[in-house]
Amino acid sequence: MSVQTQNAAGNCSDCPIRHRAVCAHCEKPELNELESIKYYRNFEAGQSIIWSGDKMGFVGSVVSGIASLTQTMEDGRTQMVGLLLPSDFVGRPGREGSPYDVTATTDVVMCCFRKKPFEEMMARTPHIAHRLLEMTLDELDAAREWMLVLGRKTAREKIASLLSIIARRDASLSSGGPVGTLVFDLPLTREAMADYLGLTLETVSRQMSALKKDGVIQLEGKRHVTIPDMGRLMEEAGDDTDGGMLG
């Protein structure tokens, strides 16, 4: 795995997540100050970024790749409680440790700030605190959406919900195109999907096969997914499309 720091003396203005991350509202002088306290770090797929309970010396943003937040019980049952995509923030200013494990699901590049200087800067810079509040509210919405999935949806609906979330995110990143055929690669193993959805990996596998058999999705290999009809998928997810979104 290339351990190159792809943006080593990285210039914030070239940053791919510049306008979505915690620094989104910052102006040039603020960006300059952030640049002076930031550094990049690479994590390989599977590697732990933070252990639950550890003191965190840094906070930062995911620049590329995917990381996950998970909680684990003593007997080994685990539940994923968050999926961190590029521009998502890691760490909580004002808190000592992390209550969850943070793990790199794919190779990950992070833009890190030492915690103390970042907190001090945040206290002086309402832009940053405000953006962080916005992002935290978004995460809260996502978590609560997920509580409905975990608590009330069937296995089939859970799978369809996860696929539709990933599909929509990919659509917004790439084409931005409207409702047509969507194609993407699953960034998660069956086991990670199970941990996300509160299922076993066998059930995930069975429901993926069932959705494929019923023509809701097409699979090439294990990861490459084609969605011929997004509306159909959303019906399967139980998220109704307001009754059919005529174009």
Partner DNA sequence: CGGAGGGTTGATCATCCTCAATCGACGTGG
Partner DNA sequence: CCACGTCGATTGAGGATGATCAACCCTCCG
Q: Of the two residues 8 and 73, which places its CB atom closer to DNA in the complex?
A: 73
Q: How far is CA 157 from the centre of its chain?
A: 20
- Partner touching 241 among DNA, a copy of itself, none, CB below 5 to 8 Å by kind: none
Residues engaged in binding DNA (CB under 7 A) = 154-156, 189-191, 198-206, 208-209, 219, 222-223
Please enumerate in sequence order all residues whose Cβ is within 8 A of that of 64, keeping only pairs 6 or more positions apart, or say none.
16, 86, 107, 108, 109
Q: Of the two residues 198 and 228, which places its CB atom closer to DNA in the complex?
A: 198
- Partner touching 222 among a copy of itself, DNA, none, CB below 5 to 8 Å by kind: DNA
Which residues is 182 bridged to in the sheet?
227
Q: Of the two residues 209 and 226, which places its CB atom closer to DNA in the complex?
A: 209
How far apart are the C-alpha atoms of 237 and 2, rounded to whole Å? 38
By C-alpha distance, which of 125, 131, 123, 109 is closest to 32? 125
Which residues is 226 bridged to in the sheet?
183, 218
- Partner touching 137 among DNA, a copy of itself, none, CB below 5 to 8 Å by kind: a copy of itself
Selected binder of a copy of itself within 74, 244, 246, 247 (CB under 8 A): 74
Residues in 9-68 at the binding interface with a copy of itself, rule: CB under 8 A: none
- Partner touching 126 among DNA, a copy of itself, none, CB below 5 to 8 Å by kind: a copy of itself
In whole angstroms, the minimum distance from the beta carbon of 48 to DNA comes to 15
Please enumerate in sequence order all residues whose Cβ is within 8 A of that of 77, keeping only pairs 6 or more positions apart, or say none.
none
Number of residues in contact with a copy of itself under rule CB under 8 A? 41
Which tokens is 98 given?
A: 């992390």
- Partner touching 200 among DNA, a copy of itself, none, CB below 5 to 8 Å by kind: DNA
By CB under 8 A, which span of 17-25, 103-111, 139-147, 175-183 interacts with a copy of itself? Answer: 139-147
Q: Of the two residues 59 and 83, which places its CB atom closer to DNA in the complex?
A: 83
> With helix as H, strand as E and coil as C, how does 129-156 read?
HHHHHHHHHHHHHHHHHHHHHHHHCCHH
Q: Is 244 in the site for a copy of itself (CB under 8 A)?
A: no
How far apart are the C-alpha atoms of 186 and 36, rounded to whole Å? 36
Q: What is the layout of strands, in order, in the sheet containing 224-227?
A: 182-185, 224-227, 218-220
Q: Of the two residues 43 and 100, which places its CB atom closer to a copy of itself in the complex?
A: 100
Rounded CA Rg of the chain: 19
Residues in 184-213 at the binding interface with a copy of itself, rule: CB under 8 A: 197-198
- Bridge-based pairing state of the strands 89-90 and 78-84: unpaired
Residues that bind a copy of itself (CB under 8 A): 69, 71, 73-75, 77-79, 81-82, 92-95, 99-100, 123, 126, 129-130, 132-134, 136-137, 139-141, 143-148, 150-152, 197-198, 238, 240
